[in-house]
């Protein structure tokens, strides 16, 4: 995150809370990133709104550029501008479609998370990050090279978010219940599974130089336990990675991530492995 030179901030005129801009200012205040303010609208005229926002930010010492654009759809507009401006992070505020389901992401949110090559931060709550808890969800039991690379990216980004916000980073992993594990009877024993998993977690703690109290392990399905842990820790940000399946349609976020992103009542930072980001960029170029 320290290496991010430009942040794309999706601006929403006529909305009272500018959560995306609030998060962007916090990050840019530390990273010195340029803020590129974008209004996605093909009809309205928002130059005065953008000029006013930019003037206030410049007075506060931020480097700012602005743009109003529209390309086919909301998420395609954001992604095209992200590519044109080489933005290393996209920040968008979540506006619930239904007040009774405040946490549920909208179709526009989902399309952005699926197809955007860069990390995306969805601001879902107005709670301050400062001195809060940052929860990063990992799958310690998966030792594939792809997951290892993603874990390194998750931990490093979560650590930087925690540093920026003077917050505490917590790492969570769920290990499978016996009935969900391999058919080999050796692995059916709860004690065996847990012991193996704790060994892997101990290596993980050592590899990433975590403190014991930062690592949390529970048995059960990750899609249920991650939101529960976020609540338990009173997390303000959940950092999650998606080892997405790529194909003709671009990238699909895994089922666990989809459930988690809807369920957590925190801001969410979504990261993709390098090969998925490259795949999405190549599709945009094609």
Can you read off the two tokens belonging to residue 175? 């290990």
Average pLDDT, the chain: 85
pLDDT beyond 70 at 173: yes
How confident is the model at residue 48, as a pLDDT? 93
- Which DSSP string do the residues of 83-136 spell out, in sequence order? HHTT-SEEEEE---SSGGGTTSPPHHHHHHHHH-SS-EEEE------TT-EEEE
Q: Phi, psi at residue 117, to the nearest 5°?
A: -70, -25
| Residue 70 within a domain | yes
Q: Are residues 187 and 256 in the same domain?
A: yes
- Tell me which residue of 230, 238, 228 sits closest to 269, measured CA to CA: 238
Higher pLDDT, 50 or 274: 50
| Residue 243 within a domain | yes
Q: Are residues 76 and 192 in the same domain?
A: no
What's the pLDDT tens digit per position in 95-113?
877 766 666 777 888 888 8
Q: Are residues 198 and 88 in the same domain?
A: no
How confident is the model at residue 223, as a pLDDT? 87
Structural domain boundaries enclosing 89:
6-93
pLDDT beyond 70 at 178: no
Q: Last residue of some domain: 75, 93, 111?
A: 93
| Residue 102 within a domain | no
- Looking up tokens 């310690």, which residue turns up? 140
**pLDDT grade, residue 187 (50/70/90)?**
low
pLDDT beyond 50 at 37: yes
How confident is the model at residue 179, as a pLDDT? 58
Structurally, how many domains does the chain consist of? 2
Q: Are residues 84 and 156 in the same domain?
A: no
What's the pLDDT tens digit per position in 21-31?
999 999 999 99
């Amino acid at each position: 995150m320290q290496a991010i030179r430009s942040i794309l901030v999706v601006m929403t005129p006529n909305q009272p809370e500018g959560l995306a801009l609030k998060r962007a200012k916090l990050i840019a205040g530390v990273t010195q990133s340029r803020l590129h303010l974008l209004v996605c609208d093909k009809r309205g005229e928002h130059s005065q709104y953008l000029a006013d926002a930019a003037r206030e930010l410049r007075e506060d010492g931020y480097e700012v550029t602005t743009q109003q654009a529209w390309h086919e759809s909301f998420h395609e507009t954001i992604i095209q501008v992200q590519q044109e401006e080489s933005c290393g992070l996209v920040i968008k505020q979540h506006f619930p479609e239904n007040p009774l389901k405040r946490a549920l992401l909208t179709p526009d949110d989902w399309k952005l998370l699926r197809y955007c090559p860069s990390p995306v931060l969805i601001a879902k709550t107005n709670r301050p990050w400062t001195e809060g808890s940052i929860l990063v969800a990992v799958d310690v039991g998966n030792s594939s090279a792809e997951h290892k690379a993603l874990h390194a990216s998750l931990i490093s980004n979560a650590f930087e978010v925690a540093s920026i916000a003077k917050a505490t980073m917590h790492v969570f992993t769920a290990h499978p219940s016996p009935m969900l594990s391999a058919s080999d009877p050796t692995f059916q024993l709860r004690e065996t599974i847990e012991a193996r998993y704790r060994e892997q977690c101990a290596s993980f703690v050592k590899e990433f130089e975590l403190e014991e109290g930062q690592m949390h392990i529970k048995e059960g399905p990750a899609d249920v336990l991650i939101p529960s842990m976020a609540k338990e820790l009173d997390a303000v940000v959940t950092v999650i990675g998606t080892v997405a399946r790529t194909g003709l349609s671009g990238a699909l976020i895994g089922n666990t991530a989809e459930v988690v992103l809807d369920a957590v009542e925190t801001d969410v930072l979504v990261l993709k492995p390098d090969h998925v980001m490259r795949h999405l960029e190549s599709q945009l170029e094609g």
